[in-house]
Amino acid sequence: MSRMTAIVALLVLSGSALAADLKSLEQASPQVRADAARFAQLMSRVLAAIESQYVRPVERSALVEAAIAGLFEAVREPLPAGIRNDLARARSNREFEYLLAAARAHLGDSDILRDHRALLISMKALPRTLDPYCGVPTATEQRRNQMSEPDYGLGLEFDLPVELPFINDPLAADNAAPNQNAPPGPYRILTVHAGSPAQRAGLRPGDMITHVGGQSTSGNLGPALLRRITFYSREGRGGSLEVTVRRADRTEPLNATLTAGAFAPEWIFGVRRTADNHWSFMLDSQARIGYVRIGFIDQGAPGQLENALRDLASNGMKGLIVDLRDCPGGYVDPAVEVVSMFVPSGTIATVSDRTQGQQRHQTSGRHIQLGKIPIIALVNGATMGGGEMIASALQDHNVAKICGQRTFGKGSVQRSPPIPELGYAFKLTTGLFTRPNGKNLHRFPDSKTDDDWGVRPSEGFELPVPPDLQRQLKDWYTQIILRPGNSREPLPLDDPDNDPVRQFATREIKKLLK
């Protein structure tokens, strides 16, 4: 008896809502049957990893329902009326696997679900049963996970769907080439990495690449030109590309020469760039007030921060502003390293993990002697995760005043557990962390305003900022970060008064220095 025949027999005996359709699909193409069986096998491995490692227990029936619902939504078909009854009757993992295969086979030979696509769709549907921080990593997250010090290429990404093929999966061989089926251009730049050749050339997110080497990306050549850019961005070393971009706020196109090569991705930013594209971290040279802005907390962030602090200390720094606004978080270990530079000893955070138990993270011994200088840390509602870990530790250890608005309240930890035979990662929430004083930091769906979550500004340092100004400031800082060091383009933050929160912190530090 074939595997598919066994599936049919079991579902017929159980009165499954999918059984009638499955019987007719016994005569379906070998490809549909193979896709259904492989989809169910691989999806079962994903679900097993979730069940064993997710931060809280979760029922497999709920996960399978989400996975199946994702498939039916993708092909715009209604979910069979009796599917929930099928799931309620299922008892073993084998029965759940049969239901997954039945659902996939029920939908037939759809291009949307062919090869590995059905698995990707179902994986993307799982967070509705888990939490919004779980799921298939975005293209930017994938790139961050792959980044090393130094990185290579051009340092840019495009606003296109990215689907990684299975590892060693012959079904995905035809899809292995990056962006093979991309539509014609022009192509919108999604991300430009600070410190990269693309940043040095003056490119920005939102720029539309209209020409490569004088050839238009809007015609039949578009996908081939995109593959060329993608190759240089990810792997090319030493090759150059001439590109033309269209920018929303300019009437004339911009031409840039991109030379692929090694570069150190930047995670720590200063006030302005010098002519050689490095950062100046002295905000007020007369009062000797330093300024560091922390972006994504990657493995390279602690080393870059240490260099910035030592540079400021050698130049007589008397006060410091640590800007954590819009910090998206990052990895736990480098966040611990960052805090350790300011806190000589003690607990930084306690992580309660589903599989690893409770782990108390202590300072690492990487303390930098800055003296008794006043420090103010800036936060806002988009300060998340590792940024909140840093802010809460600075506050609880009385190292810095916290200024701005209450932080987001993301105290969860995500990991990407390896799943054999998959070329996809699945980001999974495995634990929660609490701040040094033992209080909760995570904002749960039922958390109230008066509950303990996030990091509140210190007394007298809460500064409401209208949402439109908050968005404007984020955009302005992106412009400062990406402006090449040799550029003379004026930007709004060249005038310090355009950031009222940073100006407030500067005035408060000056008061303490009198």
Q: How many CB atoms lie within 10 A of CB 450?
A: 6
pTM for the structure as a whole? 0.88
Q: How far apart, in whole angstroms, are the C-alpha atoms of residue 372 and residue 189?
A: 44
387-436 confidence digits (pLDDT tens): 999 999 999 999 999 999 999 999 999 988 777 667 667 899 999 999 99
pLDDT band of 91, cuts 50, 70, 90: confident
- Is residue 9 pLDDT above 60, yes or no? no
205-243 confidence digits (pLDDT tens): 999 999 999 999 998 888 888 888 877 776 666 778 899
pLDDT value for 162: 45
Name the residue with higher pLDDT: 127 or 241: 127
pLDDT value for 167: 32
CA-CA-CA-CA torsion sign (163, 168, 172, 174): positive
Of 39-43, 150-154, 473-477, the one with minimum mean pLDDT is: 150-154
Name the residue with higher pLDDT: 222 or 351: 351
- Is residue 127 pLDDT above 70, yes or no? yes
Q: How far apart, in whole angstroms, are the C-alpha atoms of residue 132 and residue 238?
A: 40
Q: How far apart, in whole angstroms, are the C-alpha atoms of residue 428 and residue 54?
A: 6
Ordered by where they begin, the domains of the chain are: 3-128 (no CATH), 150-263 (2.30.42.10), 268-513 (3.90.226.10)
pLDDT band of 173, cuts 50, 70, 90: very low
Q: Determine how β-strand 187-192 pairs with β-strand 156-158.
A: antiparallel
pLDDT value for 10: 56
- Is residue 171 pLDDT above 60, yes or no? no
| The most confident of 124-138, 181-195, 328-342, 347-361, by mean pLDDT | 328-342
Over the chain, what is the mean pLDDT? Answer: 87
Percent of the chain with pLDDT over 70: 86
Percent of the chain with pLDDT over 90: 64
pLDDT value for 85: 85
Beta bridge partners of 291: 321
pLDDT value for 105: 86
Q: How far apart, in whole angstroms, are the C-alpha atoms of residue 98 and residue 110?
A: 20
Stretch 312-330: mean pLDDT, rounded? Answer: 97
How buried is 237 (Cβ within 10 angstroms: 0-12 exposed, 13-18 middle, 19+ buried)?
A: exposed
265-293 confidence digits (pLDDT tens): 999 999 999 999 999 999 999 999 999 99
